[in-house]
Chains A and B, each alone.
Chain A
């Protein structure tokens, strides 16, 4: 069966420090991968999505970047965190055409 792993679960980082959040999917090939941010426990904002290795689409201009070095690995990064980067970050995967997304358990990022 397919599983999605996201880590770390919580992270407290100082302003100006770098960020790397990792997401991996098991049990499937060539998934579509997504990074979402959720502020204050409400709406889901799509940050990046990827349909294949090295293929990244950015939905909003921001202080973050994403990379997909392997088929089932999706990384969210920042060179210098801002206070406004705090939030709940969710990774998700889907088959290229089909059902809905399956979400990871999320990373709670607090920038201090």
Chain B
């Protein structure tokens, strides 16, 4: 099945740094979602985006629905050790019902 291209694949950053990751596709999506998965747990929804150009924040996290509707971005400001985990983007294709397509994940590690 189709997958979203997510980058970077992994990041190793210093505590306090800002983090950016993105997700791209050749198809148009009508919804973009960002999830975080901690070790041994299921992914948890962080942010949902429903309109092209939409910018939504959740604490130190900010996500944007790309204007072309083919991409989305997630930024984490002033990273802290508990930000470690795998971040997944997910999108819902127009006409795709409620099926989500997931990105390949970005593994984030934070160094104290």
Contacts and interface: CB of A to CB of B under 8 A. Distances in A.
Interface residues of A, number: 26
B60 interface: no
Contacts of B31: 100
Interface string A27-43: 00000100000000111
Contacts of A44: 43, 88, 102, 105
B56 interface: no
A104 B98 contact: no
At the interface, is chain A mostly helix, strand, loop or mixed? loop
A67 interface: no
Interface string A93-104: 011111111111
Given A42-B86, A44-B102, A49-B99, A100 B39 contact: no
A98 B98 contact: yes
7 contacts: A41-B107, A44-B43, A46-B102, A60-B1, A100-B33, A100-B90, A103-B43
B42 A103 contact: yes
A32 B42 contact: no
Contact of B42 (A95, A99, A106): A106
A43 B90 CA distance: 11
A28 to B, nearest CB: 14
Contacts of B90: 100-101
Nearest to B99: A49
Given A98-B98, A100-B48, A100-B90, A106 B105 contact: no
B104 interface: yes
Given A41-B86, A59-B1, A103 B98 contact: no
